[in-house]
Amino acid sequence: MEGEGNSSGRNRHAAPVWRIHKIPSKQARLGAGGRPRRSGRCRGGGRKSDFHIRARHVVFATGYETQQLLKQKRVHLASSYAIASSAGTNFPKGREWPVIWESARPYLYVRSTVDGRIVAGGEDVDFVDEAKRDHLLARKTKTPGKKIRKMFPHVSWKLASAWTGTFAESKDGLPYIGPHKDFPGAQFALGYGGNGITFATIASAIIPDLISGTHNSDSRLFRFDRKSG
Ligand SMILES: Cc1cc2nc3c(=O)[nH]c(=O)nc-3n(C[C@H](O)[C@H](O)[C@H](O)COP(=O)(O)OP(=O)(O)OC[C@H]3O[C@@H](n4cnc5c(N)ncnc54)[C@H](O)[C@@H]3O)c2cc1C
């Protein structure tokens, strides 16, 4: 997404107009919060990707790619690997729901799902080149498998899937949630860090409060202008 200041119309300051490049036109027409304040017209001969949307509030939840918009680069990008077993793994009695975070380097995390899958990962590499990253998939995902076998020698399980992706890490390990001075009318929900899925959930609680003007004491922890970030 590319920000574009609104230079005309009644809501000049409160309602920025953003140019949407990648969102399909049908979704784009929904506008923010499902209450469209759109001027969803095709420009330049009706190219589908060339829309303007007018919204009172915009939330950027575009992950590490958001770095392309921000002047100050704040995060370190790396790649990580994960595996999942097929469902129905029988863990030993009393150890049915392992949640393990081994803080060694390279680290390892292991957890189970409600349908009895083992999910494990780690083996980070310090680059983001997609081809190089994907090429290492088979090799990198062998290690978590070996470690699980060592930890649970009596548990039999089968590998069902393995995957890799890029993730972003901030200096203090916390996400960025809230407004940014260069983007009036916008909120950001950037779940950067190893616990990004949890952070995304936290963002979903904080951002409605920020938009509605409700006090939220947690929001200061994740502001862009915090000292540790
Ligand atoms: C292999 C791996 C394993 C991980 N394991 C865990 C884990 O166990 N626990 C955990 O908490 N975290 C884990 N993470 C990290 C976690 O996935 C991220 O921190 C989290 O997803 C970040 O959430 P987000 O909403 O900020 O961004 P994302 O989840 O990256 O979502 C951003 C979305 O925006 C879309 N997007 C980007 N640009 C545009 C655009 N211009 N137009 C439209 N859409 C756009 C992207 O396609 C994407 O769908 C893991 C990451 C990887 C790579």
In a structure prediction context, what are the per-residue pLDDT tens digits for the chain, which is 229 residues long?
333 333 223 333 333 344 444 444 444 443 344 444 444 444 444 556 677 888 999 999 999 989 989 987 779 999 999 999 999 998 877 777 778 999 888 899 999 998 999 999 999 999 889 999 999 999 999 999 999 999 889 899 999 999 999 999 999 999 999 999 999 999 999 999 888 999 999 999 999 999 999 999 999 999 999 988 8
- Give 63 Cα–ligand 1 centroid separation in angstroms: 5
User: 166 burial class (0-12, 13-18, 19+ CB within 10 angstroms)?
Assistant: middle
Which pTM was predicted?
0.77
At 228 the pLDDT is: 87
Query: Which atom of ligand 1 is nearest the CA belonging to 64?
Result: 30
> Is there an atom of ligand 1 within 6 Å of 144 CB?
no
For residue 139, the tally of other CB atoms under 10 A from its CB is 10
Query: How many C-beta atoms lie closer than 10 Å to residue 189's C-beta?
Result: 22
Of residues 113, 197, 202, the one with CA closest to residue 160:
113
Distance from residue 167's CA to the centre of ligand 1 (Å): 7
Q: Are 88 and 128 in contact (CB under 8 A)?
A: no
Q: Which domains does the chain have, with CATH numbers?
A: 2-63+175-222 (no CATH), 75-170 (3.30.9.10)
CA 86 to the chain's CA centroid: 25
C-beta separation of 144 from 108 below 8 A: yes
CA of 62 to the centre of ligand 1 (A): 8
Note whether 109 and 117 are within 8 A (CB): no
